[in-house]
Amino acid sequence: MKRALRRDRHPPKPAPAPREKFPPLDLARCERFLMHEARLLDDARFDDWLALFTEDAWYWIPTEPDQQSPFDTVSLIYDDRRLLETRVRRLASPRIYSQEPPSRTSRMIGNVTQEETSTDGFVCTVRSKFMVLENRRDSQRLFGGTAHHRLVQLDGKVLIAWKRVDLLNCDAPLDGILVPL
């Protein structure tokens, strides 16, 4: 069974700017982008991370390995843009007790491939493998799995139209997930 990696509800917006001024999204740029995103998260720069997403982006961590939809099955996280903004605002709150003390994370990304690329090269789906070490209070957790990013280039800037994170242990009993994966 092929996983549903996109939903028809949000086809990526066509870039309005004259595109030829900018190079297309090749693998090297996609890789650099993923490293940049991981670094923002590890550095707890969540506002800057949010700024990587398009205005109608969604961010999804399913509870099932082959989950087809976030609407008929529960998700560890399924945020539309509005909820994602709230999530990031909460992470900055001095009253977020579940981040007292804050988590520290360290991420590794690898095996990056471009899965689907539009003919003009300005929209693509990138698949990657990741490992995230998370340390909080007395314990360290290890998350790993596969991420898919739908990347779009608008005015030379790379943005995330959607991001799906498939955790290897998505259906295991888990304590709270606070820092985005």
Question: Which residues contact another protein by CB under 8 A?
Answer: 9, 55-56, 58, 61, 63-64, 67, 70-87, 89-90, 93, 95-98, 171-178
**Cβ-based nearer residue to another protein, 29 or 136:** 136
**Backbone angle region of 60, left / alpha / beta, with phi > 0 → left and psi within -120 to 50 → alpha:** beta
Q: At its nearest, how many Å lie between another protein and the CB of residue 124?
A: 22
Q: At its nearest, how many Å lie between another protein and the CB of residue 51?
A: 13
β 53-62/157-167 pair status: parallel
In angstroms, the CA 180 to CA 105 distance is: 10
**Cβ-based nearer residue to another protein, 5 or 178:** 178
Question: Cβ distance 148 to 4 under 8 Å?
Answer: no
Tokens of 151: 């990347």
User: What is residue 81's three-state secondary structure?
Assistant: helix
**Cβ-based nearer residue to another protein, 63 or 114:** 63
In angstroms, the CA 78 to CA 60 distance is: 4
Q: At its nearest, how many Å lie between another protein and the CB of residue 162?
A: 11
Q: At its nearest, how many Å lie between another protein and the CB of residue 147?
A: 15
**Cβ-based nearer residue to another protein, 31 or 56:** 56
